Amino acid sequence: MTKIKIIPTFYSRDKKPTLRLLLTLTAVAAVIVTLLIALGGEKYSAAVGITVAVYSLCAAVALFRAFRQQLQYSPYSYNTIFYIGFALFALSVLSEFTVLSVLMLKAPDVYQGFTLIHTLLASAHNFMFYTFPFIFIFSLMLCISNISLIRHEGWRPVNLLGIILSFILVGGFMLLYFFNYYASGSETEVMIHDLFTNLFAAIYLYFECMMIGTVISSAITSRYEPEKNMDFIIILGCSLRKDGTPTPLLKSRIDRAVKFYEEQKQLTGKEAVFVTSGGQGTDEAVAEGASMKRYLTEKGISPERIIEEDKSTNTLENMKFSKEKISAINPNAEIAFSTNKYHVFRSGLLAAGIDMRVTGIGASTKWYFWPNAAVREFAGLISKQKGRQLTILALMIVFYAVLTVIAYQLF
C-alpha cells in the first residue's frame, strides 16, 4: 500500500503557483451577480447567494491548492501565510452563504436582497466569532507561558510580548462585540457606526488571518524532515553564556544538527559539513561560531568537517555569510540549517530573500519559551514587506467601506 505524504515534499515543484484562475473566477462571479441583480432584482436573490457560495468554495479550493503548491515550490514565503490564512476565511464565507441560500429558497419573502449585502458585510465579524475559541485558547496559552517564562528567565519587557498580544486579541474582539451590539441615532450616525465596526473587523480579520497562517506555516516547516542528502548543515547562532559556552537554547540547535548528521551518515553514508554561524557580541567572551565549533569537536565531530563563520550579527547575516562560504566550495550544494522550531520559518524566509535554497531542521524548545518567541517571530514577519501588506489591507478596507455605503444607499 502506498503511503500518503500529508506534508508535500519541499522544493519538488519548479513553477511558482499563481492565482490567475481565482482572479478569473472573481471576474466571472462579479459579472454573474451584476447581471442577476440588473435583470431580476429580488427575484434572483437566491441565485446571487448560490453564486457567492459557489465562488467561495472555488476560492477556498484555489487557495488551499496554491498553499500546497507553494510548499512544493518554496515553503518559506509570505504567500504561504496568505494562502492558508485566507483559505480559512473563504470557508467561513462559504458556510454562511450556503446556509443563507437554503433559507432564501425556503422563505424568499423573509430573506431578500438586503440579507445578502448584510451577510457579506458581516463576514469579517462572523469569522472573528467562529475563530474566537481558538483565539481565546491561544491567548490563554500565551499568558500562561509568559508567566512561566518570567519565573524561569526573569522579568524583561520582551518577556511580556505574549501577554500584550493576548490582551490585544481578546480586547479587540470584546471591543467590537460590545460596540457593535447596539447603535442608535440618525441614519447617518448609524451608518458611521457600522462603517467603523466593519473597518475595524476588516483590519482585525487581516491580521488574524496572517497570524493563523503564520502558526500553520511555522508548524509545518518546523516539523518537516529534510531529505538525507545534505552537503552542509548551517547552525544558526544565538547568545552564549558568560564563560563562552553555548546556552541550552544554542545546545539544542547544535545537538539537533548532530542528530541529523548521524542519521544521514548511517542511512546514506554521506557526511555533511557543519557551518557554525555567529559573530561575537559585545557581551560575549568568544564568537558564537567558535563556541559552537568547540562544542562540536567535544562531541566527536572532526574539525575538518566544520567551517566557522564568525562575522554575522543576525539571522540574515548568518545566512548571507554562510552562503558565501558554501558557494566558494560547492555552488550547487544541498543545504540544511538547524535552529529552534519557532525560528525555522522566518529563518527560511530570510534565506529565500537572498536566493538561498535551504531546508530547516527544527530543534525542540522548552514549552514556556516558544510561545513568546513565536510572537517575536510573527512581529518580525509582519514588519517585512510592508508595501504588499498595506496594499492588501487597503483593498480590504475599501471593499468593506464601499459595501457599507452601498447597503445604506440601496436599503
Sequence ranges of the domains in the chain: 15-121, 124-223+369-411, 232-333
Residue 285's Cβ-side half-sphere holds a number of Cα atoms within 13 Å equal to 10
Q: Which of 222, 231, 224 is nearest to 265 (CA)?
A: 231
Residue 35 CB neighbour total at 10 angstroms: 14
Q: Can you say whether residue 76 is alpha, beta or left, with left for phi > 0 and alpha for psi between -120 and 50 degrees?
A: beta
**Which helix (H) or strand (E) covers residue 206, if one does?**
helix 187-223
Splitting the chain (411 residues) into consecutive groups of 10 residues, what average pLDDT does each group show? 64 92 91 82 83 95 96 94 95 94 87 84 90 89 83 73 86 85 72 87 92 90 93 94 91 96 95 95 89 95 95 94 96 96 92 95 81 74 78 90 81 59
pTM of the model: 0.88
- Confidence at residue 410, expressed as pLDDT on a 0 to 100 scale: 64
pLDDT value, residue 1: 36
What does the pLDDT read at residue 60?
Answer: 97
pLDDT for the residue numbered 266: 95
Helix, strand, coil tally for the chain in percent (to 5): 70, 5, 25
Separation in Å, CA 342 to CA 110, 144, 231, 244, 369: 50, 17, 24, 24, 10
For the chain, state the CA radius of gyration. 25
Torsion-angle region of 11 (φ positive above 0: left; ψ -120 to 50: alpha; else: beta): left
Q: Where are the beta strands (DSSP E) in 183-239?
A: 232-236
Residue recorded with cell 566527536: 300
CB 338, CB 254: distance < 8 Å? yes
How many angstroms separate the CA atoms of 128 and 197, rounded? 12
pLDDT score, position 81: 92
- 280: Cα separation from own chain's centroid: 31
Integer Cα distance of 306 and 30 in angstroms:
59
What is the H or E stretch that residue 114 is in? Answer: helix 113-121
